């Protein structure tokens, strides 16, 4: 797969296959094509040549919203949450977005799932707190729980530990490992923090000038 911007070859000859339930980290210097690669996979950018396949379907050229509904979700560096809602209300909103119509049985299932998600990301004790009062790391975990509510098999994470404390980074390592190993999600993350990459014991995809080195 290739992606060019005029005369700039942002991605050149990319050939990747991701396995379910595994964690992959994209590393490389600024400008090597990391974010461009996530953009092409998520549909925000169209490849100049080649194609992107997901779950046996050619998703090349599809709108990002359609790709997201198929199960490919992207998380950017800045957390995307509802700051004026509580932690629980944020996750509940993500759960409700998946289910129509709304009924008592669905409500009970959502309540159970809400508790499971908050427990997974370590925010069960923050359920009633307004989201804007969370620490930076906690906001990132909250958004991850909202993505997990979508039951999407592939998560694209753009520098998930940027701005986190050392302790928060360590907790995020454990969280991502659990998401992959216990919940079967595939994680493709961009990361500059090599301690995070090493802690994940993941498969490393090294990019340089738009090409995969290893």
User: H/E element holding 186?
Assistant: strand 186-190
Q: What is the predicted pLDDT for the residue at 78? A: 85
Tens-digit pLDDT profile for residues 74-106: 999 888 999 999 999 999 988 887 655 554 445
Mean pLDDT of the chain: 91
- Spatial contact of 131 and 85, defined as CB atoms under 8 Å apart: yes
Q: Report all structural domains of the chain as residue ranges with CATH numbers, in order of start.
A: 1-71+152-214 (3.40.50.300), 81-150 (no CATH)
Q: What is the predicted pLDDT for the residue at 29? A: 92
- Spatial contact of 86 and 109, defined as CB atoms under 8 Å apart: no
Tens-digit pLDDT profile for residues 52-69: 999 999 999 999 999 999
Looking up tokens 């070859």 gives 9
User: Angle CA(64)–CA(207)–CA(4) in degrees, nearest 5?
Assistant: 55
SS (H, E, C) 42-81: HCCCCCCECCCEECCEECCCCCHHHHHHHCEEEECCCCCC
Answer whether 0.95 is exceeded by the pTM: no
């Amino acid at each position: 797969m290739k992606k060019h911007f005029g005369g700039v070859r942002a991605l050149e000859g990319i050939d990747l296959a991701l396995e379910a339930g595994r964690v992959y980290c994209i590393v490389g210097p600024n400008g090597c094509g990391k974010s461009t690669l996530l953009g092409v996979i998520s549909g925000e950018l169209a490849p100049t040549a080649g194609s992107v396949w997901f779950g046996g379907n050619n998703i090349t050229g599809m709108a990002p919203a359609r790709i997201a509904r198929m199960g490919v979700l992207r998380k950017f560096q800045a957390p995307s949450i509802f700051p004026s809602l509580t932690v629980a209300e944020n996750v509940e909103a993500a759960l409700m977005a998946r289910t129509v119509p709304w009924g008592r049985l669905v409500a009970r299932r959502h309540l159970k799932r809400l508790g499971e998600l908050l427990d997974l990301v370590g925010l069960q004790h923050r359920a009633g707190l307004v989201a804007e009062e969370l620490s930076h790391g906690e906001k990132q975990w909250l958004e991850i729980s909202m993505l997990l509510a979508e039951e999407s098999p592939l998560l694209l994470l753009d520098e998930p530990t940027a701005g986190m404390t050392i302790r928060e980074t360590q907790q995020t390592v454990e969280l991502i490992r659990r998401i992959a190993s216990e919940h079967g999600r595939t994680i493709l993350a961009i990361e500059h923090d090599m301690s995070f990459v090493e802690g994940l014991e993941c498969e490393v995809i090294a990019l340089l000038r738009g090409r995969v080195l290893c």
